Amino acid sequence: MDNFLIYFKALQSANLSEITEYSLRPELKSLLLSIAENIDSNISILHEGKREGGFGAPDFSIRRIENIIGYIENKKIGENLDNVLKSEQIRKYQQLSDNILITDYLEWKWLHKGHIQTETLCCVSDLNNKNAKFDLRNAEAVENLIKSFLSSAPEGIGKPKDLASALAIRGKILKDFLAEELQRQETQDSKGKLFGLYQTFQSYVFNELTLDDFADAFSQNLIYGIFLAKLNADTQTVTLSNAEDFIPTNFELIRELVEFLKVLNRKEYADIRWLIEEVLNILNTMNFRDIKAALSFTRTFGEQEDPYSAKDPYIYFYEDFLAAYDKKLRKSKGVYYTPPQIVNFIVRSVNTLLKDTFHLRDGLADHEKVTILDFATGTGTFLLEVIRQIFKAYPNQAEKELIIREHILKNLYGFEYLIAPYTIAHLKLYQFLKDHGYKLNEDERLQIFLTNTLEPTDRQISIPLLPALTEETKQAQIIKDKPILVIMGNPPYSGHSKNKGKWISNLLKDYIKDFPELKKPAQAKWLQDDYVKFIRFAQWKMDRLEEGIVAIITNHSFLDNPTFRGMRKSLMKTFHQMYFIDLHGNSKKKETTPEGGKDENVFDIEQGVAVSILVKQPSLKRKIFHADYYGLREEKYRKALKDSLKTVVWQELVPTEPNYLFVPQNNELFDKYNDFISIPSIFGNNGDPAPGILTTQDELAISFTEQEAFSKVEKLLDTKNEEEARRLFRLCTQNQWNYDKAKADLLQTDWKKQSVKILYRPFDTRWTIWNSHIAVHRRERVMKHILHKNIGIIAPRQSREDWGVMVSNLPIGHKAVCAYDINYFFPLYL
């Protein structure tokens, strides 16, 4: 007990009025080391030093060789440790470890696997009393608690799902630290390497990139870059200084980004360094053989596994990572992996067309004429399936190696603008070729490029900090300009697209030029969806060729929604034959099978999807074919694996003006329907209708009573900053609404006189403040006429529900009648 007696005397000799949580750290570390040495000489106790800000690295991290045992958080004497236990700081540490020790030098709390054990060495009064005796029993109890903490056995991870989760938890915290440091470098005008990398990506990869977006992307890239290094290091230890050395030269851009690890010894990156060391620790201590075997493309499948899905272990590795990292991220980025069974059908269909229609005997394996671009590569699922199909044509190893060199590494291209999927695509395809006996030479690389498909770039560009990105960007533009026979992929679905570049926006004008009503922003909103822009890119490529194929899976709305009639007409001009399989599964439309049974999506999304195979081949007679897949998800998967382009039961379509529908319709009934007079034509003299108001911030703008509406505005005006306001209400995005301007204008306005009733939902009358700073999109052109005595008809352009028409004498919300469609308003008089 001598070590505790020395520690106790040190506490007694300290001036408690001046003591801080840092004052006695050396004495605390000495005590911990003396206990650790009696347990295992391999235990090390690393002190992180004083923090500059709030939550950062734990005060002490405890390791046995490379394995993390746990963390110790040290507070000043007398601090309430029960409050510390409930803090956000400890909650985050618990995500990293289930073995945490908290102490204020006197009281000790051990958190282990959900349980809390507490021991106390002495009271504060014992320190003030120089005659107080050292309590041996208390010391023994504290020592046993510390021994239990230090003896907790760290476990090496042996399953990919557990590894993905462990990496994701650390990646999520790393993202927060990166974002904080980026904001600091921006506001303090101390632009370091991290901010320089952000500016590079914003200027040359994606102009709409925010600090938070980059922190997210860079966090994932660092983790997967280190993972790639570990896979190549095998059983060797990867460190901050050597990680780059273990990344093959075939991954030059990833090497350059991982080089960032070398600046982590700088003070401002201390918190980032700690988490990167955590990631290194996990990877260095994982059960390498088990993880490598589980991620092998040549492994034996378990009895419970779906053999086809299990062929791509990296799909589920990234899915598990995202689930633990940020479940909302996939939705916000429109990132969903394409089920391998659907990819298999699409790729086989392309292979069939190349052989039968384009008369290329070797199909996808034809190295002289076939070039393939996955224009939204993601994690490389489509390219992997293409390689599998090519390998089927060349089972001999020597032939396989030749086709890899002369075709796969030269004629298969991929574009991806998100750095994490880009890294995984390279990693996955590299490992796939390696597992099949081919290791890339130093001068060989996969033709997957980090680029925004929808943004052209200057071939003479020179990008600062990242020479490899300069080369990637130049090569990507060469591919954008060169003829490509086959374009395939699963483009992102995002109605609120950030891809607003001039080049792609000009191309989209072709989809509205013959339809004047679509030139109005509200009418053509869904033409701005990212998947529409990717289709337009592919069509532009095909317009410059004599022949080609586009094979994709996308949102199925363009098949029949009126907004897309110009798009459908344009596609009919470009392509000679088109095949559409509507996979349905649209929970927004409450889709069911024709028999009324359950209909599931092939993705984990609400929006229904469709496979489109568009063929440009002048020798073909122009035709359009349609088919439906209804039923449960697994049924659709099995059908996709079983079907081929020749066996699908197709229904031929003959789309006609004005809508050019890509779905079957009863032409006789359609003619009768068109004999009726349309609502817009009846009210045509009063001008075009307008959608109901869209506040974009219903939490603030819509109230049950007038008084509640007043109270909300007053709360907004009482806020000190935008951050506080956004904690109170879910407010509109910054590009449509400005907090400072809203407050300033409202303070100068008699806004209480602007309260009005609106029809918010069917028979549901609410209150709003008729001011653009509250109800952002009020559709003034039409709605001003209903503010006085008037009535109007409410109707959607199309209804997914049985009942879709109503009359109102109040302004209406955009979902006033139909919950799943935009509602338009036709006033009786102006």
pLDDT tens for residues 651-701? Answer: 999 999 889 999 998 777 877 877 888 888 888 777 778 889 999 999 999
Q: Shortest CA distance to 364 belongs to which of 491, 476, 478, 485?
A: 485
Distance CA 742, CA 536 (A): 38
Where b means 16+ CB within 10 Å and e means fewer, 336-374 reads bbbbbbbbbbbbbbbbbbbeebbebebbbbbbeebbbbb
Task: Kindly state the average pLDDT of the residues 226-244.
Answer: 92
Ranges 109-118, 530-539, 688-697, 799-808, most confident: 530-539
- The band of 49, judged by pLDDT with boundaries at 50, 70 and 90, is low
Query: What are the distances in angstroms from CA 554 to CA 560, 584, 603?
Result: 14, 11, 11
DSSP string, 324-374: HH-HHHHHHHT--PPPHHHHHHHHHHHHHHHHHTS--TTGGG-TTT--EEE
For residue 792, the cross-strand partners are 808, 827
CA neighbor of 602 nearest in space, from 293, 309, 807: 309
What's the rounded Cα separation, in Å, for the pair 613 and 704? 50
End-to-end CA distance of the chain: 92
Compute the mean pLDDT over every residue in the chain, rounded to the nearest whole number.
89
pLDDT higher at 18 or 137? 137
- Report if pTM > 0.85: no
Q: Is 272 within 8 Å of 263 (Cβ atoms)?
A: no
Please state the φ and ψ torsions of residue 341, each to the nearest 5 degrees: -65, -40
Contact 739, 725 (CB under 8 A): yes
- The backbone torsions φ and ψ at residue 157, rounded to the nearest 5 degrees and listed phi first, read -80, 135
pLDDT at 54 > cutoff 60: no
Q: pLDDT tens-digit profile of 528-561? A: 999 999 999 999 999 999 999 999 999 999 999 9
DSSP 385-439: HHHHHHHHH--SHHHHHHHIIIIIHHHEEEEE--HHHHHHHHHHHHHHHHHTT--
Query: What integer pLDDT is reported at residue 334 of this predicted model?
Result: 47
The tens digit of pLDDT for each residue in 596-651 reads 999 999 998 889 999 999 999 999 999 999 999 999 999 999 999 999 999 999 99
CB atoms within 10 A of CB 2: 7
Mean pLDDT of 168-196: 87
Average pLDDT over residues 332-353: 86
Taken in order of first residue, the domains within the chain and their CATH numbers are: 2-151 (3.90.1570.30), 156-490 (no CATH), 682-827 (no CATH)
Longest CA–CA span in the chain (Å) reads: 104
Q: Which amino acid, 37?
A: E
- pLDDT confidence bin for 590, thresholds 50/70/90: confident
Q: Which of 140-154, 249-263, 399-413, 685-699 has the highest mean pLDDT?
A: 399-413
Q: CA-to-CA distance for 236 and 66, rounded, in angstroms? A: 12
Q: Average pLDDT for residues 204-215, to the nearest whole number? A: 86
Q: What angle do CA 225, 228, 232 make, to 5 degrees?
A: 140
